[in-house]
Amino acid sequence: MKKKFLFSLLSLMLVGMSAFNMGVSVKAQEKLEVKTTFYPVYFLAEQIGGDYANVSMLLEANQDAHDYEISASDVTEVQNADLFIYQDDEMEYFVQDLLAVINTENTKIVESTEGLTLLTGSDTHDHEGEEAADDHDHEGEEAADEHDHEEGAHEEDDHDHEEDDHAHEEDDNAHDHGAEEDGHSHNYDPHTWVDPMFYAQQAENVLNAFVELDPANAEGYQNNYQALVDELTLIDEEYRTALADREDRRFVVQHAAFGYLANAYDLEQVAITGLSTTQEPSAQEIATMQDFVVENDVKVIYVDPTSSSSIAQTVAQANNAELRPLRTLESVTADELAQGINYFDIMRDNLIELAK
């Protein structure tokens, strides 16, 4: 009898512990599980999600979104998430392969630049630094004709991304992927986040996704979003002030990742390589850039210190130009994440370099 009693008591204790553990598990799962691709979209989700979401990245610090290939674990991680956020089809080509094998009914998918107007892009090198604009509307509806900045918007003529004489022909206007070398070409420039106010527009898309999935915490998400936009607006003002009197409006970079920054602040990006970090210029293109830096007495070439600078070094030798850091923010290091260094810090570091 006593054994039966002890057994029954033990059973009740185990049931109680199981119930307690289940309660903890359910409580922990009340937070949204959010999976992002790489740092720019991770930062948006992390800032807006705040304490209401568990946000993580697919790509590690040393991985490149331009040529990333999905793994089985990626599929599992995305499928287990409530929300999956990526930059756009022009940046993470691998996402289309990923979406083809997951159940999107269980995971909400958000393309952060959905409905926004992107600069046209090309993997050919434009040493005149000219950029055109085109529509990025995935629903087939007309996208906005202006780069409308809410919360401290730019003046109307500062960010007007209307089509110009360099726009693509009609059959090139579709937002699709061409086939060059590795099977990918950029019809649009995906590096939107280097313009703080364009980035703020992406933040609104992310906000809407959070609110849709978790309306109970809508006010919290809205407050986080507003704090993010306020800081982005402040950075935008800092850039405008610091760069307003920059005498030489041109700046030479290794990787053409600063078109939106140039467009926002009336600068001219001159890039050695194209929009993809995996593309290497031909010997003729390098020779052309060497001529350019000599003829224009270029003293500085900007490179991302997280990437190889060998191509820039080759070009810089023609005029003894100095290599200076300018972060693309496509990735941050594990040490930076551990130290709490974020988008705001790196954008301000970039401004210091550009304002020298």
Inside any domain, residue 26: no
> 100-112, pLDDT tens digit by residue?
999 999 999 999 9
Strand partners, 269: 251
State the CATH number of the domain containing residue 350: 3.40.50.1980
Lowest-confidence pick of 11-25, 78-92, 337-351? 11-25
- pLDDT, mean over the chain: 80
Q: What is the pLDDT of residue 62?
A: 67
Closest Cα partner for 160 from 62, 263, 72? 263
Element (H, E) at 324: strand 322-325
Mean pLDDT for the stretch of residues 19-46: 73
Element (H, E) at 303: strand 300-303
Inside any domain, residue 18: no
Rounded CA separation 342/348 (Å): 10
Mean pLDDT for the stretch of residues 36-57: 97
Inside any domain, residue 335: yes
Confidence of residue 159 (pLDDT cuts 50, 70, 90): very low
Lowest-confidence pick of 159-163, 248-252, 284-288? 159-163
Rounded CA separation 257/276 (Å): 8
With beta carbons less than 8 A apart as the criterion, state whether 328 and 255 touch. Answer: yes
Residues 6+ apart with CB under 8 A from 204: 150, 225
- Looking at the structure of the chain, the number of domains it has is 1
> 49-71, pLDDT tens digit by residue?
999 999 999 988 667 776 688 88
Inside any domain, residue 25: no
- State the Cα angle at 189 between 103 and 78, rounded to 5°: 20
> 189-204, pLDDT tens digit by residue?
999 999 999 999 999 9
Inside any domain, residue 16: no
| pLDDT score of 220 more than 80 | yes
Quote the domain boundaries for residue 245.
32-355
Q: What is the pLDDT of residue 10?
A: 34
| pLDDT score of 129 more than 80 | no
With beta carbons less than 8 A apart as the criterion, state whether 281 and 272 touch. Answer: yes
| pLDDT score of 20 more than 80 | no
Q: What is the pLDDT of residue 7?
A: 36
Inside any domain, residue 283: yes
Q: Around 91, how many Cα atoms within 13 Å sit in the side-chain half-sphere?
A: 23
Inside any domain, residue 5: no
Q: What is the pLDDT of residue 137?
A: 47
Residues 6+ apart with CB under 8 A from 311: 254, 272, 273, 280, 281, 286
Residues 6+ apart with CB under 8 A from 148: 159, 201
Residue with tokens 């090198």, as numbered in its chain: 125
Decide: residue 274, CB within 10 A, 0-12 exposed, 13-18 middle, 19+ buried.
buried
Q: What is the pLDDT of residue 306?
A: 87
| pLDDT score of 251 more than 80 | yes
Q: What is the pLDDT of residue 276?
A: 77
Inside any domain, residue 252: yes
Rounded to the nearest angstrom, the gap between the alpha carbon of residue 89 and the centroid of all alpha carbons in its chain is 12
Q: How far is CA 289 from CA 56, 62, 270, 280, 352, in A?
A: 39, 28, 9, 13, 25
- State the Cα angle at 220 between 216 and 221, rounded to 5°: 90
